[in-house]
């Protein structure tokens, strides 16, 4: 059953001076109950803006348009009071850096007590303690550490505590904003295993924001690939990671390091400046398959398989105007990248 449905979502930052900056443009995304979806892309592509925009946690300078429904309720335009009622018990967020979110002056027990008192005043102190210890136990934190301060934990343990703080309210959906950043690969694997256990044990829908396509290949049911504010490809994790249909997805996958890697690969250039993004396809200045049409016309979204979509002219060649299917000259690509 569909839990979250985003249609035509746009997010613009409105600086005090200068032009409007579109961080997210016309995004469609769905999450079903108990589904684990990965949102991948390089830094600066709008992943965190989309994730926090769904929860209504963007700064006041950001303006959101479009439609985001959660369990049938419209979130875009909802009052702050209504959004606060949903956050925690229904919608959770795991932050990227737990040390900036945990109060260094409060014990871990006080963090949990404050969270539960805020969202459920009917609980007794003993009930709050029991629920807190159960949540901590589910992520591997022993009860003997309940009264420790945040600085007494390692980075991986603090991230587990952040997950437990979300889990203690048993939300229907969780946005995990790069929860494994700055963690070593072993701890990263442990955190991903915990998220997978939460999904299977509590039937929680999880939107995992990451820049690592290798992570979602192991953990997620479905993948959405984001570039310069657009979702350029969606599909099952298996299909996207074994047979990517968009050149950007393919280049991301080729840049992933594994035990079989013999040569490092990177995507030339960098994501565009969203103040003045490239015309038409935003990836064309870096794309090895770019055609003349890619610099002239916005690519259509094409269904490339069961539950698969790709925004690329490679899958709509019959619709390319005459003379526009020729490869884009390398000099043109270099000039576009410099611009």
In a domain, 158, yes or no: yes
Indicate whether 116 belongs to any domain: yes
Q: What does the pLDDT read at residue 141?
A: 94
Residue 38, domain extent:
2-238
- pLDDT at 137 (0 to 100): 93
Who contacts 305 (Cβ-Cβ below 8 Å, separation ≥6)?
Answer: 235, 239, 245
In a domain, 249, yes or no: no
184-229 pLDDT per residue, tens? 888 888 888 889 888 888 889 999 999 888 788 888 999 999 999 9
Q: How far is CA 279 from the centre of its chain?
A: 25
What CATH number does residue 158 fall under? 3.40.50.300
Q: What's residue 331's pLDDT?
A: 57
Instruction: Classify the phi-psi angles of 118: left when phi > 0, otherwise alpha if psi is within -120 to 50, otherwise beta.
Output: alpha
237 and 221 in contact (C-beta within 8 Å)?
A: yes
The count of domains in the chain is 1
Task: Judge whether 173 and 90 are in contact, CB under 8 Å.
Answer: yes
Q: Is the pTM of this model over 0.75?
A: yes
**Residue 308 belongs to some domain of the structure:** no
Given a cut of 80, whether residue 248 has pLDDT beyond it is: yes
Over residues 79-103, mean pLDDT: 89
Total residues belonging to the chain:
339
Indicate whether 307 belongs to any domain: no
- Note whether residue 321 is domain-resident: no
Specify if 109 maps to a domain.
Answer: yes
- Is 317 inside any structural domain? no
């Amino acid at each position: 059953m569909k839990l979250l449905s985003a249609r035509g979502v746009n997010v613009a930052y409105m600086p005090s001076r200068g032009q409007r900056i579109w961080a997210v443009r016309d995004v469609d995304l769905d999450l079903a109950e108990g589904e684990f979806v990965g949102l991948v892309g390089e830094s600066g592509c709008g992943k965190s803006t989309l994730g926090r925009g769904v929860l209504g946690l963007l700064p006041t300078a950001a303006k959101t348009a479009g439609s985001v429904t959660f369990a049938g309720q419209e979130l875009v335009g909802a009052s702050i009071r209504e959004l606060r009622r949903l956050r925690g018990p229904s919608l959770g967020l795991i932050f990227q850096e737990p040390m900036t979110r945990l109060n260094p002056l409060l014990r871990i027990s006080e963090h949990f007590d404050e969270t539960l008192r805020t969202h459920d005043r009917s609980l007794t102190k003993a009930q709050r303690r029991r629920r807190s210890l159960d949540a901590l136990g589910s992520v591997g934190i022993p009860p003997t550490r309940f009264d420790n301060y945040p600085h007494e934990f390692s980075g991986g343990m603090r991230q587990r505590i952040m997950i437990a703080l979300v889990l203690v309210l048993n939300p229907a959906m969780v946005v995990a904003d790069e929860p494994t950043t700055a963690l070593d690969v072993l701890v990263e694997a442990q955190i991903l295993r915990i998220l997978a256990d939460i999904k299977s044990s509590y039937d929680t829908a999880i939107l995992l924001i990451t820049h690592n396509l290798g992570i979602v290949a192991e953990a997620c049911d479905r993948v959405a690939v984001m570039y310069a504010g657009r979702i350029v490809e969606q599909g099952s994790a298996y299909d996207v990671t074994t047979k990517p249909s968009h050149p950007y997805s393919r280049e991301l996958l080729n840049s992933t390091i594994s035990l079989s890697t013999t040569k490092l690969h990177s995507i030339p250039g960098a994501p565009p400046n969203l103040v003045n993004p490239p015309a038409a396809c935003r990836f064309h200045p870096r794309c090895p398959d770019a055609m003349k049409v890619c610099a002239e016309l916005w690519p259509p979204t094409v269904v490339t398989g069961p539950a698969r979509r790709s925004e690329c002219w490679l899958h709509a060649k019959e619709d390319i105007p005459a003379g526009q299917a020729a490869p884009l000259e390398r000099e043109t690509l270099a000039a576009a990248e410099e611009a």
